[in-house]
Amino acid sequence: MAQPDYYAVLGVLPTAPDDEITRAWRRLVLASHPDKTRTAPAQTDIRLVNEARAVLSDPVRRAAFDAQRVSNHAAPPPPSGPRIREHVSLEAFTAHPSAEEPERFTLECRCGQEYVVTVDELEAGVDVVGCPGCGEYVGVDYEVVEEE
């Protein structure tokens, strides 16, 4: 079970001083006490409110909680490049030889458009091709053959 965010339980900022934590705790306890309210008591988990105050009022426990909270909320590293739907052999592509432009290879995408890669791109090391229709990417698997 994940540890609750005690700052959110008390409704205070992580920079809140001790007196603000105590005031927030007192407000929540009074709001949920059946003798102190004329309306139906708030559905507050008093055990959690008391636990939040105990942790945030103790400097050692608060420092440990803050360290744990930061490590739990660390952002994952950003993706490094496009998300590749699948890897396809260059042999599955259709060759379109041309004397005027570089030879190109096409493969139909599931959206109806075509992935296109040219011989020049392959020679430059391109191995990921995007579809202009839907924006999906495929990895192009090929082997460079040295001509003698």
Instruction: State percent of the chain over pLDDT 70.
Output: 81
SS (H, E, C) the chain: CCCCCHHHHHCCCCCCCHHHHHHHHHHHHHHHCCCCCCCCCCCCCHHHHHHHHHHHHCHHHHHHHHHHHHHHCCCCCCCCCCCEEEEEEHHHCEEECCCCCCCEEEEECCCCCEEEEEHHHHHCCCCEEECCCCCCEEEEECCCCCCC
User: What is the fold, at CATH topology level, of the domain defined by 84-141?
Assistant: Microbial ribonuclease fold (3.10.660)
pTM given for the model: 0.47
User: What is the fold, at CATH topology level, of the domain defined by 6-72?
Assistant: Helix Hairpins (1.10.287)
Sorted by where each begins, the domain ranges of the chain are 6-72, 84-141
Which of 14-18, 45-49, 62-66, 105-109 comes out lowest in average pLDDT? 45-49
In tens, the pLDDT along 9-33 reads 888 888 889 999 999 888 888 877 7
Residue 85, pLDDT score: 82
